Amino acid sequence: MDGPGVEGNWRRQDRFLTRQPIVHTFDYPDGMAGGMNKRGSFGSMADRVARGRKNRETSHSAPRLKHCWVTDRHGRLPGLLLEWERRQDGFYGRVVHAVLDERGEWIVAEEWLPAELLEPVHDARPEGGSA
């Protein structure tokens, strides 16, 4: 029964119009991908997730940054320690920190500094600071 405003696969049942369900069946010759069943060379979903986690753990990730204090002529300022290097005259840290330029403006610098100028940060608050 088709008419204005009545579309699709309708049939009359008693005094009401009801929509007849449309059922499709699909035949996949190789089966469907995904799920927990082992299909093909990819393995189960659990196997694929485990492989993905393992690949992330063994991939080359960025080195861990460490907060530090840099002491220079401007006082004790926060910095990020990127890596350590051992030289003939001692250890040096590659650090990113704020410095004053010749105009008196703060800029960000990356440089190798002797270990004596660097301290680890043990507390999230600077000395004398408040939360």
Q: Tell me the β-bridge partners of 86.
A: 91
SS3 assignment, position 3: strand
Which residues are CB-neighbours of 72 under 8 A, at least 6 positions away?
99, 117
Q: Do 30 and 41 form a contact (C-beta atoms < 8 A)?
A: no
pLDDT, tens digit, 9 for 90 and up, residues 1-52: 445 554 555 555 555 555 556 565 666 565 655 555 555 666 777 777 777 7
Residues of the chain with CATH 2.30.30: 66-120
**CA–CA dist 117, 69 (Å, integer):** 8
Domain covering 66-120: architecture: Roll (2.30)
**CA–CA dist 60, 81 (Å, integer):** 19
pLDDT, tens digit, 9 for 90 and up, residues 64-123: 789 999 998 888 999 999 999 999 999 999 999 999 889 999 999 999 999 999 999 986
State the pTM of this model: 0.47
| Single-letter amino acid, residue 120 | P
